[in-house]
Amino acid sequence: MTPEEEIRQLRAELNQHNYNYYVLNAPTISDYDFDQLMHRLEDLELFYPQFADPNSPTQRVGSDLNQQFRQVAHKYPMLSLANTYSEADVRDFYERVRSGLEGEPFEIVAEMKYDGLSISLTYIDGQLVQAVTRGDGVQGDDVTANVRTIRSIPLQLRPGSGYPHEFEIRGEILMPWASFNRLNAEREAREEPLFANPRNAASGTLKSQKSELVAQRGLDAYLYYVLGDEIPTDGFHYENLQEAKKWGFKISEGMQKCHSVEEVLDFINYWDKERKNLPVATDGIVLKVNSLRQQRHLGYTAKSPRWAIAYKFQAERVATKLLEVTYQVGRTGAITPVANMEPVQLAGTTVKRASLHNADIIRQLDLHIGDTVYVEKGGEIIPKVVGVEVENRSKDAVAVQFIQNCPECGTPLIRIEGEAAHYCPNDTGCPPQIKGRIEHYISRKAMNIESLGPETVDDYFQRGLIHDVADLYQIRPDQISGVNGTKIKSAQKIVESIRGSLQVPFERVVFAIGIRFVGETTAKQLARHFRSMDALSHASLEELQEVEGIGLVIAQSVVDYFHEPRNVDVVNRLRAAGVQMEIDLDENVGGSDALQGKSIVISGVFTHHSRDEYKALIELHGGKNVGSISAKTSFVLAGDNMGPAKLEKAQKLGVPIVSENEFLNMIQ
């Protein structure tokens, strides 16, 4: 067997095993044997690069290289569905279909509405060639590199299964509960904001600039609609999906052909309860006319098809017992009360903790220890306490009183006027705050020191190696290389990663040092206005408030930060280590005030620069990027295929449309 023949055989074999595992959920070999086959293929592809294939199973791991998403126009518009929330609405839809078909018999396909991100996949000769998000329905982002990492999406369709030469299949990319819970547990350990629900997590993951990260997060996909010029026009939706299953696609088992409105309602009522046992989030049922010919006859409204509708489930609520309220300390010193409850099943997960946010929420709920409380997820998958069953409260129940002292260091708490949260002011001596600031400093959007994580930070802190972020730059490989240097390579990698952060630009340094209330955008504004740490540290309250978007609270927080001697010492030690302390002159070459005071919306696909490059140019020349069009918008920078909704709104409000070349002339 030649190397090329062995490569082809291994790819076919691994594709079949992927299908068995991720689509059929019926693996036929052990993980070890699978890995051995994969390693053999990786070795062959390394030695014979002339046989490289982007759809090879070895490419599922993704890349750590940044990528820019280009916008692609949909061949067939991706419209949204009309929503309904009641049995009466479902009956009305059924009667509208009956009337529209003038009494002709019809079938309704009822299927699960998965709560994820809509995707359009194009296949040619059985190979995945493009994956595009829904976007605005007319055009979306090309996320092919990221989608290739999702193992339930076939890169090569099953040979001899009868697929057309070219077709499009649409579906939902989502994050299973298991992946979602694991991801949020990791983020909670790093004191990063939790994803609100699996849909947000899936969307954020799919839009990542690194496909390597997408591969790590365990996304899944269900496909639900086939279309294309080679699909029989007199065919049926349900039967098309059964064929797609043979080609290798993951199709929902929760699907049924219904011949009466009663069958539709029975399906809805069954899955309203049974969906709690599914491994993925669902938020409703989709109803579609089965016949493609009848679909074309019924047609579309301006926004949605007349032959389909989405029924949304009501938010799920359960009752359980409040056992105690504990308190967590964040990196900024903010105190978050947490309700600890008897474990209860809610929307697919076991819930035993829920954030109570702040003292005001506790007071509004009138919480007592031992209360029967109502917990809800709804659209917000992070559990929240929404009510109390007061009638069940025992007479000797003790009211929950918000704590007066920090649970970690004992310092009396403070509450800033106008703020909902209480804070521990001991930011230099409270362990969770110290470790939290270090974890914030090394995070991706700050200094991006990838080799470190919360567990490593905690280990170094406990061993006395680090007490603040400046100590990171003093770490030597021999201090962290383990007994007898058993981890010397890992230690060298960590030190090199820390040294690499010296190249991070100044605006991210301002964000990284962790000034309270100064987020990523605010840090960028401060950095570009004051241009150096010296200027920022000596700015007065009045000078800080001259920066757009900086109010009294943020300005006072900046002043307070630099009035604390320990913070000044940390900044000085960071400077001595080589951290960037001013704007790089090269970053502002060619800047001007040509767009000063202008708010600009970007829409469309561009020729000369990417969207991100145009955003940078707008800021470089004094303008402000805004996401939506309003009467205050100065103009829209429009490329090809500008979104029709934005175009219509701009014309309605009289907002000027500026072409790519006109814009470049404006900034010379």
Comparison of pLDDT for 164 and 303, the residue scoring more: 164
pLDDT for 586-597, tens place per residue? 555 567 788 988
- Sheet containing 108-114: give its strands across: 83-84, 308-312, 282-289, 108-114, 255-258
> Does residue 250 carry a pLDDT above 80?
yes
C-alpha span between 327 and 83 (Å, rounded): 40
pLDDT score for 64: 45
> Does residue 171 carry a pLDDT above 90?
yes
pLDDT score for 454: 86
Contact in structure between 637 and 666 (CB atoms under 8 Å): no
φ/ψ of 384, rounded to 5, equals: -140, 145
Lowest mean pLDDT among 49-63, 254-268, 331-345, 506-520: 49-63
Contact in structure between 264 and 107 (CB atoms under 8 Å): no
Catalytic residue among 75, 113, 210, 257: 113
Q: Which CATH superfamily is domain 431-503 in?
A: 5' to 3' exonuclease, C-terminal subdomain (1.10.150.20)
Alpha helices, DSSP H, located in 343-430: 359-365
Average pLDDT score over residue span 36-41: 82
Fold (topology level) of 506-587: DNA polymerase; domain 1 (1.10.150)
Contact in structure between 131 and 142 (CB atoms under 8 Å): yes
- Calculate the alpha carbon distances from 50 to 3, 10, 98 in Å: 11, 16, 58
The structural domains of the chain, with segments of one domain joined by +, span 3-61, 83-312, 317-392, 431-503, 506-587, 599-666
Residue written as tokens 């903010």? Answer: 334
> Does residue 655 carry a pLDDT above 80?
yes
Average pLDDT score over residue span 572-594: 80
Fold (topology level) of 599-666: Rossmann fold (3.40.50)
- Calculate the alpha carbon distances from 22 to 19, 249, 266 in Å: 6, 10, 30
pLDDT score for 65: 47
> Does residue 21 carry a pLDDT above 80?
no
pLDDT score for 32: 67
Residue 337 pairs in a beta bridge with 327
Tell me, rounded to whole angstroms, the distance of Cα 249 from its chain centroid. 24
Q: With both helix axes pointing from N to C terminus, report the angle between 565-577 and 552-563 in degrees, rounded to the nearest 10.
A: 80
Mapped onto helix, strand or coil, the DSSP state of residue 142 is: strand
pLDDT score for 66: 45
Contact in structure between 317 and 366 (CB atoms under 8 Å): no
Looking at mean pLDDT, say which of 283-292, 314-323, 384-393, 581-590 comes out highest. Answer: 283-292
- The torsion defined by the Cα of 75, 76, 80 and 84, in degrees rounded to 10, comes to -160
Average pLDDT score over residue span 169-188: 89
pLDDT band, residue 297 (cuts 50/70/90)? very high
C-alpha span between 90 and 261 (Å, rounded): 8
Tell me the CB-side half-sphere exposure of residue 228, using CA atoms within 13 A: 19
What is residue 116's DSSP assignment?
A: S
pLDDT for 594-617, tens place per residue? 898 898 999 887 877 777 678 878
Fold (topology level) of 83-312: D-amino Acid Aminotransferase; Chain A, domain 1 (3.30.470)
DSSP annotation string for 462-500: HTTS-SSGGGGGG--HHHHS-GGGTTHHHHHHHHHHHHH
> Does residue 8 carry a pLDDT above 60?
yes
Comparison of pLDDT for 518 and 586, the residue scoring more: 518
Closest CA to 184 of 413, 356, 367, 351: 351
**What would the two tokens of residue 632 be?**
């205050």
pLDDT score for 335: 94
pLDDT score for 378: 55
Tell me the CB-side half-sphere exposure of residue 434, using CA atoms within 13 A: 22
Fold (topology level) of 317-392: OB fold (Dihydrolipoamide Acetyltransferase, E2P) (2.40.50)
C-alpha span between 520 and 196 (Å, rounded): 20
pLDDT for 530-565, tens place per residue? 889 999 999 999 999 888 778 888 999 999 999 999
Looking at mean pLDDT, say which of 159-163, 237-241, 297-301 comes out highest. Answer: 237-241
- Calculate the alpha carbon distances from 313 to 90, 166, 261, 344, 410 in Å: 12, 36, 17, 20, 46
Average pLDDT score over residue span 456-462: 92
Lowest mean pLDDT among 115-119, 325-329, 417-421, 457-461: 417-421
pLDDT for 43-71, tens place per residue? 788 778 888 888 888 877 655 444 567 88
φ/ψ of 213, rounded to 5, equals: -65, -40
Average pLDDT score over residue span 109-123: 93
Confirm whether 431-503 and 506-587 share one CATH topology.
yes
C-alpha span between 12 and 18 (Å, rounded): 10
C-alpha span between 414 and 196 (Å, rounded): 28
Three-state SS letters, 230-277:
CCCCCCEHHHHHHHHHHHCCCECCCEEEECCHHHHHHHHHHHHHHHHH
Average pLDDT score over residue span 275-290: 90
pLDDT band, residue 97 (cuts 50/70/90)? very high
pLDDT score for 302: 67
Q: Does domain 3-61 have CATH number 1.10.10.410?
A: no
Average pLDDT score over residue span 430-437: 92
**What would the two tokens of residue 223 be?**
């496909």
C-alpha span between 131 and 129 (Å, rounded): 7
DSSP annotation string for 92-105: HHHHHHHHHTTT--
Q: What is the mean pLDDT of the chain?
A: 87
C-alpha span between 491 and 501 (Å, rounded): 16
- Calculate the alpha carbon distances from 441 to 248, 334, 420, 444, 445 in Å: 45, 17, 25, 9, 9
pLDDT score for 47: 79
Residue written as tokens 């040619």? Answer: 124
Cβ partners under 8 Å of residue 382, min gap 6: 194, 196, 197, 354, 355
Contact in structure between 403 and 325 (CB atoms under 8 Å): no
pLDDT score for 331: 84
User: What one-letter code names the amino acid at 382?
Assistant: I
624 flagged as catalytic: no
Q: What share of the chain is helix, strand, coil (3-state, %, to 5)?
A: 40, 20, 40
Contact in structure between 595 and 666 (CB atoms under 8 Å): yes
Average pLDDT score over residue span 296-318: 86
Greatest CA span in the chain, whole angstroms? Answer: 84
Residue written as tokens 């019809």? Answer: 106
**What would the two tokens of residue 529 be?**
């206005």
Average pLDDT score over residue span 516-521: 85
pLDDT score for 347: 66
Contact in structure between 558 and 538 (CB atoms under 8 Å): no
Number of other CB atoms surrounding residue 151 within 10 Å: 20
pLDDT for 410-429, tens place per residue? 999 999 877 788 999 998 88
